[in-house]
Amino acid sequence: MKTYPLAKPYIDAEDKKGVLAVLNSGQLSLGPKYLRFEKDISVYTGAKYACAVANGTCGLHLAVRALGLQDGDEVITTPFSFVASTNCLLYEGCKPVFVDIESLTFNINPELIEKKITKNTKAILVVHVFGQPANMGEILKIAKKHKLLIIEDAAESFGAKYKGRYTGTIGEVGVYAFYPNKQMTTGEGGMIVTNSNKIYDLCKSMRNQGRNLNGDWLEHERLGYNYRMDEMSASLGVTQLQKTDWMNEKKREIVCWYEEELSGLKTVVIPRLDSGGASSLFVYVIRIIKGDRNKVVDVLARKGIQTKPYFPVIHLQPYMRKMFGYKLGDFPVAELVASQTLALPFYIGLSKQDIAYISREIRKALESS
Ligand SMILES: *Cc1c(COP(=O)(O)O)cnc(C)c1O
């Protein structure tokens, strides 16, 4: 039986050749590749500065620190995301203040933000969920009015644009992630982008044990970390970036096939995407509005099709309930969406026939659930 995982990285001969060349060079860290990758990302996104890091989560951590956010500061963010977007605030003692989402885009609802602003609010941490840009126009207006900083968690939206600008480059600082299930991969890896020289210098120093950038190798100017990206990952980044637009095109083709197959179903809501091709999808997530989602997952699994409820909301995770006392009902739209969403197989290599098969099995599973 042919099996369909949820995600699979696309690795070609160029990627392999590059990584092998790094291995043969003997320079596995702090070599030329991470500098090249940073430069390429900066050129691609139009961000003035790019700082390569070991993964997206530590990139977010450095972004929070570089903005000077600290103990007691409140940061507005979304409960419908991967936990890393909230954890990076908790690392620094900041208080995540959740705002419910829009049910169509799954992103933070700008209309609900102002009610949550207090004298302690310092920033908004925006997540472009599943690769769909959040409503940055409204969010920028609110940030300006209340003098708030903006961090963009663009870990799921590399290559997506909001009104012509790449997500990640719109706020004070943005972070991309390159875990193997993302739009492009470096294995583990991430990138901080910013137009601020000050943020850039702080991130560069902190990722490298707090070293003084121009001084002695063993002079540590501030508390730092080892959040460096290795050269094999950076090499993969360079060659993956060269085909990232092509990979996104391929993914859009798969989206079209799913739309053709699933759009007639009354029990399913398919994602509504920006018509301008501005989104760059990270996962393909449908909503099952009638039927037993767990049963659908089980039935499909028996057919070799992997699917996954995605995401569970952050505020109801056990550690968040314990820390802040959140309960069911606190963010009803996010909770409803999270109870219905199902990620489907989505990777380069899926053919039109594969999507037809998967969709047929989804229809059958829905009928029996
Ligand atoms: C993947 C992801 C991250 C973290 O990236 P890693 O590289 O896995 O650390 C952060 N935020 C969101 C929304 C993500 O999906």
Residues linked to residue 342 through DSSP beta bridges, in sequence order: 286
Contacting residues for 285 by C-beta, under 8 A, at least 6 apart: 106, 130, 271, 310, 341, 342, 343, 344
Task: Return the structure tokens found at 151.
Answer: 């961090």
Task: Return the structure tokens found at 18.
Answer: 């590059």
Q: According to the model, what pLDDT value does residue 276 have?
A: 53
C-beta 127 within 6 A of ligand 1: yes
Residues linked to residue 151 through DSSP beta bridges, in sequence order: 125, 173
Tell me the C-alpha to C-alpha distance, in Å, between residue 96 and each of 73, 150, 363.
9, 14, 39
Q: According to the model, what pLDDT value does residue 173 have?
A: 98
**For ligand 1, what atom is nearest to the CA of residue 179?**
7
* Tens-digit pLDDT profile for residues 116-139: 999 999 999 999 999 999 999 999
**For ligand 1, what atom is nearest to the CA of residue 85?**
11
Amino acid identity of residue 359, one-letter, is: S
Burial of 164 (0-12, 13-18, 19+ CB in 10 A): exposed
**Confidence at 262, pLDDT banded by 50, 70, 90:** very high
C-beta 174 within 6 A of ligand 1: no
* Tens-digit pLDDT profile for residues 160-184: 999 999 999 999 999 999 999 999 9
**For ligand 1, what atom is nearest to the CA of residue 178?**
7
Task: Return the structure tokens found at 301.
Answer: 């699994």
DSSP of 24-71: HHS--SSSHHHHHHHHHHHHHH--SEEEEES-HHHHHHHHHHHTT--T
C-beta 85 within 6 A of ligand 1: yes
Ligand 1 centroid distance, CA of 69 (Å): 20
Ligand 1 centroid distance, CA of 155 (Å): 5
Ligand 1 centroid distance, CA of 206 (Å): 19
- Lowest-pLDDT range, 34-43, 183-192, 265-274, 328-337? 265-274
How far is it, in rounded angstroms, from Cα 346 to Cα 128? 18
Ligand 1 centroid distance, CA of 80 (Å): 13
Ligand 1 centroid distance, CA of 163 (Å): 24
Average pLDDT over residues 52-58: 98
**For ligand 1, what atom is nearest to the CA of residue 181?**
1
Omega into 130 within 30° of 0, i.e. cis?
no
Ligand 1 centroid distance, CA of 56 (Å): 5
C-beta 279 within 6 A of ligand 1: no
C-beta 109 within 6 A of ligand 1: no
How far is it, in rounded angstroms, from Cα 157 to Cα 176? 8
204 by DSSP, 3-state: which? helix
**For ligand 1, what atom is nearest to the CA of residue 55?**
7
Ligand 1 centroid distance, CA of 153 (Å): 8
Per-residue burial over 208-240, b if 16 or more Cβ lie within 10 Å, else e, is bbebeeeeeeeeeeeebbebbbbbbbbbbbbbb
Give yes or no for residue 277 having a pLDDT over 60: no
Tally of residues, the chain: 369
Q: According to the model, what pLDDT value does residue 274 have?
A: 66
**For ligand 1, what atom is nearest to the CA of residue 57?**
9
Ligand 1 centroid distance, CA of 357 (Å): 30
Give yes or no for residue 275 having a pLDDT over 70: no
* Tens-digit pLDDT profile for residues 296-319: 999 999 999 999 998 899 999 999
How far is it, in rounded angstroms, from Cα 160 to Cα 326? 32
Q: According to the model, what pLDDT value does residue 350 have?
A: 97
Ligand 1 centroid distance, CA of 64 (Å): 15
How far is it, in rounded angstroms, from Cα 278 to Cα 163? 8
- Lowest-pLDDT range, 197-201, 205-209, 268-272, 337-341? 268-272
Average pLDDT over residues 272-285: 75
C-beta 190 within 6 A of ligand 1: yes
Positive or negative, the Cα torsion across 71, 72, 75, 79? positive
Contacting residues for 199 by C-beta, under 8 A, at least 6 apart: 49, 63, 66, 67, 172, 173, 192
Task: Return the structure tokens found at 141.
Answer: 């207006």
Ligand 1 centroid distance, CA of 189 (Å): 10
Task: Return the structure tokens found at 361.
Answer: 């099995």
- Compute the mean pLDDT over every residue in the chain, rounded to the nearest whole number: 95
**Its pTM surpasses 0.75:** yes
Tell me the C-alpha to C-alpha distance, in Å, between residue 30 and each of 52, 228, 231, 234.
11, 8, 7, 10
Ligand 1 centroid distance, CA of 105 (Å): 19
Give, for ligand 1, the residue of 87, 179, 191 to mutate: max count of ligand atoms closer than 8 Å to Cβ. Answer: 179
Q: According to the model, what pLDDT value does residue 273 have?
A: 73
Contacting residues for 89 by C-beta, under 8 A, at least 6 apart: 64, 69, 75, 77, 95, 96, 125
**For ligand 1, what atom is nearest to the CA of residue 59?**
9
Task: Return the structure tokens found at 84.
Answer: 């890393």
Give, for ligand 1, the residue of 80, 91, 108, 153 to mutate: max count of ligand atoms closer than 8 Å to Cβ. Answer: 153
How far is it, in rounded angstroms, from Cα 255 to Cα 267? 18
Question: Closest Cα to residue 280, out of 153, 109, 156, 135?
Answer: 156
Helix ranges, 83-177 (H): 84-90, 136-146
Contact (CB, 8 A) for 9 and 239 = no
DSSP state of 259: H
**For ligand 1, what atom is nearest to the CA of residue 129?**
13
